[in-house]
């Protein structure tokens, strides 16, 4: 996800006021202060404000009010028989506490890709063992940072990890599952950082990732699921003008994404199906009630080899599924 920077639509930041103390250098800081007693009315208003702030970041999903099925078909009229979900969960342990595994049961995908699990293998909670699914993890060496997970009903023919650059691979950013008819790439792309301090790192990633996907595509079709950390076009972000030089919407990142699609002949599943739909986002900052106002970014994708276009049925953004600052992206195929 994008770096934590405070703008009206920028990515999430801490609500802490650390470092903003007014006491530093204040000559009267040690003088006793008069304490005013709050009126009952003021106390009620304050409590209402606190409640209002808590409601801004909804974490509970009303699963029974949602339809997780899909009636879309391929261009040849075939019903889907493969459902792939992908979700940046912003911390696996917190996600589980917020009902993340309930989502797995209700969505019931054949494959679920997770990004930003922020959990080392040694600290995986026992709840992650879900009957009926094989599980694979690619954790960052630093606990509490990045990392990937994969739930799959069908055991892959092979699993591999990493992009081939140690600085990236120690962060747990990529895993490849080989199936009979395709490769699945689960990815968490580096972001460019606050004030673009890691833009060079991001630009180092792009050609290597492109090379890897191109090599896979020469053997079997590829499906890429994950947080690409870029809003590709202006339609993919609520306020494009004010974010031109913010991480996730710089011209360099957008051009890199365009080059990936072009050079490997990849299709953006959602835009292929819904080219003109506005207000379709997958990430909202926790601040300023952005999700309720739908001030968001589309950072999470399902990309597919053009060879799979005839197998593709639909791609949905589950914006009413809560538990993270991102929402799941669900794609349907007939294989």
Show binding-site residues.
88, 116, 227, 229, 325-326
Q: What share of the chain is helix, strand, coil (3-state, %, to 5)?
A: 30, 20, 50
Cα separation, 289 vs 180, whole angstroms: 44
Active-site residue flag, 188: yes
Residue 43: both structure tokens together: 């106390």
The active-site residue out of 227, 236, 268, 314 is 227
What residues contact 24, with CB distance under 8 A and at least 6 apart?
none
β partners of residue 159: 177
CA 148 to chain centre: 11
First to last CA, the chain: 31
Contact by Cβ (8 Å): 136, 142: no
Instruction: Return the H-helix or E-strand segment holding 304.
Output: strand 300-305
**C-alpha distances out from residue 129 to 88, 97, 136, Å:** 19, 15, 11
Residue 111: both structure tokens together: 């494959």
Residue ranges of the binding site for Mg(2+)? 88, 116, 227, 229, 325-326
Cα separation, 231 vs 253, whole angstroms: 9
Active-site residue flag, 326: yes
Active-site residue flag, 334: no
β partners of residue 92: none
The active-site residue out of 217, 314, 326, 334 is 326
Sheet of 111-115, strands arranged across? 134-138, 148-152, 111-115, 82-88, 329-333, 312-317
For 123, which DSSP code?
G
Backbone angles phi, psi at 125, to 5 degrees: -70, 155
Cα separation, 305 vs 222, whole angstroms: 5
Residue 172: both structure tokens together: 């747990």
- Angle between helix axes 199-217 and 251-264 (nearest 10 degrees) is 10
The active-site residue out of 183, 188, 281, 286 is 188
The catalytic residues are: 188, 227, 326
């Amino acid at each position: 996800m994008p770096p934590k920077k405070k703008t009206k639509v920028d990515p999430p930041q801490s609500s802490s006021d650390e470092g903003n103390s007014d006491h530093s250098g204040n000559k009267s800081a040690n003088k006793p202060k008069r304490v005013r007693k709050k009126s009952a009315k003021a106390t009620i208003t304050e409590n209402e404000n606190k409640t209002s702030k808590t409601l801004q970041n909804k974490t509970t999903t009303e699963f029974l009010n949602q339809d997780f099925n899909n009636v879309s078909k391929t261009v040849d009229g075939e019903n889907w028989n493969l459902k792939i979900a992908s979700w940046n969960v912003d911390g696996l342990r917190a996600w589980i506490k917020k009902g993340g595994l309930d989502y797995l049961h209700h969505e019931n995908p054949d494959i679920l890709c997770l990004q930003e699990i922020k959990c080392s293998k040694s600290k995986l909670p026992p709840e992650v063992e879900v009957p009926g699914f094989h599980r694979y993890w690619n954790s960052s060496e630093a606990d509490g940072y990045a990392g990937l997970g994969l739930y799959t009903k069908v055991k892959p023919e092979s699993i591999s990890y990493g992009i081939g650059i140690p600085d990236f691979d120690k962060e747990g950013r990529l895993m490849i599952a080989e199936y009979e008819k395709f490769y699945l790439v689960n990815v968490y792309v580096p972001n460019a950082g606050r004030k673009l301090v890691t833009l060079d790192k991001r630009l180092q990633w792009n050609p290597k990732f492109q090379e890897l996907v191109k090599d896979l595509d020469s053997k079997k079709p590829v499906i890429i699921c994950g947080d690409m950390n870029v809003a590709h076009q202006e339609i993919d972000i609520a306020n494009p003008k004010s974010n031109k030089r913010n991480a996730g919407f710089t011209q360099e990142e957008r051009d890199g994404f365009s080059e990936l699609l072009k050079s490997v002949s990849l299709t953006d599943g959602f835009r292929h199906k819904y080219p003109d739909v506005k207000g379709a986002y997958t990430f909202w900052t926790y601040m300023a009630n952005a999700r309720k106002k739908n001030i968001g970014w589309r950072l999470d994708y399902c990309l597919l080899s053009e060879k799979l276009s005839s197998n593709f049925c639909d791609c949905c953004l589950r914006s009413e599924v809560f538990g993270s600052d991102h929402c799941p992206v669900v794609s349907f195929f007939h294989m």
